[in-house]
Structure 1
Amino acid sequence: MNGTFCISIDTELLWGRKDLDYSKFIERTKKERDIIKKLLSLFSKYNINTTWAIVGKLYEKGDEFWCGKDIVEMIKKKRIHELASHSYSHEDFTKISRKKAKQEFKKPRAFSFIFPRNHIAYLDLLKKSGFKAYRGPDETNTTKHIIQLINLLLNIPPRTSNPIKDKGLINIPGSMYFVSARGVRKYIPYGLRLRRAKSGIDKAISKGQIFHLWFHPVDFADNEKSLFREFENILKYAKSKRDKNLLEIKTMSQIARGFSK
């Protein structure tokens, strides 16, 4: 059995910071459209299909920091990518009522769902809302900076996994967060993200499992040139393994549909 490589991208503009001080993210958010264009160009170059989890509010017209109908259209035009849901307005599902959760699941309609901040809750409502798959959290809490740094510095191979049937849904757990260069993370030497991603791909191939890489477009806003170079090298490595018939590259919906057969 071949290994599988999946990339999911949490696309949210300023909605990801709506309950925080987002003033420091305004300049970063200004760069997001160009970052998304560059990502789409790279995916086309290496013929890699990905899952884009979109906050529902982005489908609306309005302020460019909060609305992104043009972004959705950019992704749609490429035809090879999956449009998943990242909830309607990026609520933390562990902090809202069932009634509010039901509203958040309504838009956008999609096959796959990615919970904001990877905080999983209300799976019964998720299923009732018509979703079939979701991304479970990483093995460790990758939002903790110290854990991210330790994993990279020690090159601890990320978790790979098989899809998991869970309450009538298919859980495709995350494996590795492509760490940004914000704050203390700007000191991470070039190549550590690449090294760890390669180890994840190799592990997926050896075990016949899934290596699930995820990130936000805004994660490329700091030290952009270096991060894009590192990310492109991950794609090159994945393509080289695919060319040798060792690796399949799939969206979340493709994985889930294959698992359901």
Structure 2
Amino acid sequence: MGTIVVSLDSELAWGFHDLDSPPERRVRGARAGWQRAIDVFDEYSIPATWAVVGHLLLEECDGAHRDHPAAGSGWFSSDPGGDASENERWFGPDLVDRIRDADADHEIGWHAFSHTVFDRERITPEIAAAEIRRCATIARERDLPASSFVFPRNVVGFRDLLAEHGFRGYRDVSPPRWYDGSPAYPLAKFASYTVGETPPPLVRPTVDEHGLVNVPASLDLFSFEGPARRVARTIGEDPVVRQAKMGIDAAAERDGIFHVWLHPNNLVRESDRDRLRRILSYVADRRDRGLLSVETMADVTDRVLDDATHEATTDGAARAVGDDD
């Protein structure tokens, strides 16, 4: 029996503050999308990992963050400062409280402190350490776990620092699909989503060289948008729902993890909310029939590390018996 994992990159305005032209509709609708997501997960009693930008848990700030090593680069130039009641696009302690109070047993994960991209060519180890350390500090202050980390924009880096600050697992990028890198990529992807019979990949978590559990993604639930989505909808079922159902069925039929992810700010239209509802409904049906389980990233991490510890203990005991002989 396989497992479903859902993770959400929960950012508000921080997800776009370094862009010249942020998608205003998504920024404007991010809070409403966050609450809609909580409601849908509660409707189907499905827990998820909410990877939250650490700054959102602050009650107030000066906007400058002069003690942060990225302050001198202008990284915080868009931060208006003030308090949570004045600038709801930049603060969200109330939204995190709603996650904690939800009926579903969600995990609070982390998405860096200020959505810094962990690219070694763009930031220094000092900046990465500050981003991770501040999340860990806020977690302690708010009595929250500091287990799972989702890298902004899926740029995985500085994993050694992640381990040093007590995190235990992270989400890696999706395995490549057959059309990645193909000259016919747009057409091949369209065909795969609409008529192809190959499901998105099931993934297997691994323990990396730093002792962290890597839980790769399988499918971005908003990876097929714009004109292609509109055209595909005239042909038949929402192509992402179709892909998700194939992945869920694959997880129900064999061992493996189907890990889907999204942003709360993706849920700006009724069709977006309908997509999430249809996917979670399908998950709930298979779960309730005993065909698969639903776990958070932390659940997977705990299970993998427990198995690794048990295996190491068993191997050690076997070697000890052999030595005695």
Corresponding residue of 2:276 = 231
Q: Higher mean Cα deviation, 61-70 or 159-168?
A: 61-70
CA change 1:124–1:192 in 2 (3 A) is same
CA displacement at 1:207 relative to structure 2:
2.5
Task: Give the aligned partner of residue 131 of structure 1.
Answer: 167
Corresponding letter in the other structure for 2:153 = R
Runs (5+) with no aligned partner, structure 2: 60-82, 137-145, 307-325
- The 2-side partners of 1:69 and 1:112 are apart by 19
Q: How far, CA to CA, are the matches of 1:106 and 1:22 in structure 2?
A: 30
The letter of the residue matching 1:19 is: D
Q: Which one of the candidate residues 90, 94, 111 is aligned to 1:66?
A: 90
The two structures have a TM-score, normalised by structure 1, of 0.91
* Residue of structure 2 in register with 1:106 after alignment: 133
Shift of 1:148: 5.8
| Cα deviation digits, residues 131-172 of structure 1 (max 9, x gap) | 000001011399999476454234441111111111210000
Q: Percent identity?
A: 33
Structure 1 residues without counterparts, runs of 5 or longer: none
Contact 2:52 2:110 in 1 (8 A): yes
Residue 15 of structure 1 deviates from its aligned partner by 1.2
Which of 205, 208, 213 is the equivalent residue of 1:170?
213
Match of 1:44 in 2: 42
Asked if 1:247 is matched to 2:292, the reply is yes
Distance 1:212 1:46 in 2: 17
Structure 2 counterpart of 1:15:
14
> How many Å separate the matches in 2 of 1:192 and 1:13?
26
Larger Rg: 2
Answer whether contact 1:10 1:216 (CA < 8 A) is retained.
yes
**Amino acid corresponding to residue 111 of structure 2 in structure 1:** H
What one-letter code is carried by the residue in structure 2 that aligns with 1:215? L
The one-letter amino acid of 2:175's match is: E
| SS of equivalent residue, structure 1 residue 93 | coil
- 1:7 Cα deviation after fit: 0.3
Q: Distance in 1 between matches of 2:95 and 2:192?
A: 32
Which residue is equivalent to 1:32? 30
Amino acid corresponding to residue 251 of structure 1 in structure 2: T
Following TM superposition, the consecutive aligned residue runs of length 4 or more in structure 1 with deviations greater than 6 angstroms are: 141-145
Deviations 1:98-141 (A, max 9, x none): 11110011132211000001101111111001000000101139
Offset from partner CA, 1:193-219 (integer Å, 9 cap, x none): 111001111112222100000011111
Compared with structure 1, are the counterparts of its residues 91 and 148 closer, same or farther at alpha carbon in structure 2 (3 Å cutoff)?
A: farther
RMSD: 2.2
Which whole-Å CA distance do the structure 1 matches of 2:272 and 2:95 have between them? 21
Instruction: Please say if residues 85 and 107 of structure 1, whose CA atoms lie closer than 8 Å, have aligned partners that are also in contact.
Output: no
CA distance in 2, matches of 1:119, 1:247: 30
* Separation of aligned partners in 2, 1:75 and 1:87: 18
- Measured in 2, the distance between the counterparts of 1:186 and 1:111 equals 35
The 5 Å alignment of 1:77-156 reads 77-78=101-102, 80-94=105-119, 95-109=122-136, 110-140=146-176, 146=186, 149=190, 151-155=192-196, 156=198
- When residues 37 and 181 of structure 1 are mapped into structure 2, their CA distance, relative to the original with a 3 A threshold, is farther
Distance 1:161 1:101 in 2: 27
Asked whether the 8 Å contact 2:51–2:149 carries over to 1, the reply is yes
